[in-house]
């Protein structure tokens, strides 16, 4: 699968049900040339298998920009191999503590969300370089990401975190490939087809 095709699969799953989804345009054959565009605005209240009480607290363009950033990191990290051949490891996940000064909480999730978390920390640092904030808890709960923080972040920061929590429900927690919510023995997790077959490895 190409980077553009994988990015399209991810975003289409995350925004499934949104009326603006047909406007999604993705181009590029490498992390450096990957580009994503969608009609700006707040998504529908039912998207990607999730129903929001009113509307999501993030905009479509925030979600697609986060997916773009994550995909660039994912494909750069594994180069010259593909991400499927070189998924993130626990060491990659833990390395985020050294890479990001605000990654102060332990990561209570599998390494498949490494590139998603990396993208979140980078983007938050870009929009609030002088703000005083820190992560308090980063974990999986009910198969999706929960990112708790304290301190001072602009409203855009809240939207980025909310978009990451939603997007995590479409990213395999084990390897980072596009995935979906899966249940096994009443235990929910987000897994790609390959890790669904291997259960919870």
pLDDT tens-digit profile of 56-108? 999 999 999 999 999 999 999 999 999 989 999 999 999 999 999 999 999 99
Q: Give the contacts of 4 (CB within 8 A, at least 6 positions apart).
A: 26, 27, 28, 29, 34
pLDDT tens for 33-50 read: 999 999 999 999 999 999
pLDDT, mean over the chain? 94
b (16+ CB within 10 A) / e for 50-79: beeeeebbbbbbbbbbbbbbbbbbbbebbe
Q: Nearest 5°: phi and psi at 153?
A: -130, 145
DSSP type of residue 161: H
Q: How many angstroms separate the CA atoms of 43 and 2, rounded?
A: 26
Res 200 pLDDT > 90:
no
Phi-psi region of 143 (alpha: psi -120 to 50; beta: other; left: phi over 0): left
Nearest to 116 by CA among 180, 57, 63, 164: 164
In a 13 Å sphere around the CA of 46, the CA atoms on its Cβ side amount to: 2
Res 198 pLDDT > 70:
no
Q: Check residues 197 and 168 and name the one with the higher pLDDT.
A: 168
Residue 194: per-residue pLDDT: 86
Domain count, the chain: 1
Bridge partners of 149, per DSSP, are: 135
153 is written with which tokens? Answer: 């972040």
Beta-strand relationship, 180-184 and 187-191: antiparallel
Which residue's entry shows tokens 């998504």? 43
State what percent of residues in the chain have pLDDT above 70.
Answer: 98
Q: What range defines the domain where residue 159 resides?
A: 3-197
């Amino acid at each position: 699968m190409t980077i553009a095709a994988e990015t399209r699969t991810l975003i289409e799953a995350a925004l499934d049900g949104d009326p603006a989804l047909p406007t999604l345009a993705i181009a590029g054959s490498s992390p450096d040339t990957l580009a994503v565009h969608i009609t700006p605005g707040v998504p529908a209240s039912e998207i990607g298998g999730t129903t929001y009480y009113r509307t999501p607290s993030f905009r479509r363009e925030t979600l697609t920009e986060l997916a773009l950033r994550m995909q660039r990191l994912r494909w750069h990290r594994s180069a010259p191999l593909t991400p499927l051949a070189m998924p993130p490891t626990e060491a990659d996940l833990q390395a985020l503590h050294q890479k990001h000064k605000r990654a102060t909480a332990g990561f209570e999730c599998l390494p498949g969300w490494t590139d998603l978390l990396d993208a979140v920390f980078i983007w938050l640092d870009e929009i609030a370089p002088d703000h005083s904030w820190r992560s308090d808890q980063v974990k999986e709960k009910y198969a999706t990401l929960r990112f708790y923080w304290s301190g001072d972040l602009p409203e855009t920061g809240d939207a980025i975190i909310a978009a990451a929590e939603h997007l995590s429900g479409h990213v395999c927690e084990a390897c980072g490939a596009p995935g979906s919510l899966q249940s096994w023995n009443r235990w929910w997790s987000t897994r790609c087809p390959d890790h669904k077959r291997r259960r919870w490895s």
